[in-house]
């Protein structure tokens, strides 16, 4: 699953990622990457794998 956050939602990104990673596995830490201002890939405690990123405006 890929999640896209933009605009005002970006302010909640760190907290969102932290909650998903609690009890799960972080495959790519939340950071700046060449393809996204901020990206993180986490598998939550239920085994659902999620890549989340912020789109540049």
Nearest to 1 by CA among 54, 31, 41, 28: 41
Separation CA 23–CA 9 (nearest Å): 23
Per residue of the chain (57 residues), give pLDDT as tens. 455 555 566 667 788 888 888 888 999 998 888 887 778 888 888 888 877 666 554
Q: What is the pTM of this model?
A: 0.68
């Amino acid at each position: 699953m890929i999640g896209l956050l933009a605009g005002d939602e970006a302010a909640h990104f760190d907290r969102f990622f932290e909650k998903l990673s609690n009890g799960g596995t972080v495959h790519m830490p939340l950071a700046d990457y060449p393809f996204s201002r901020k990206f993180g890939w986490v598998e939550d405690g239920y085994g659902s794998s999620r890549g989340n990123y912020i789109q540049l405006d």
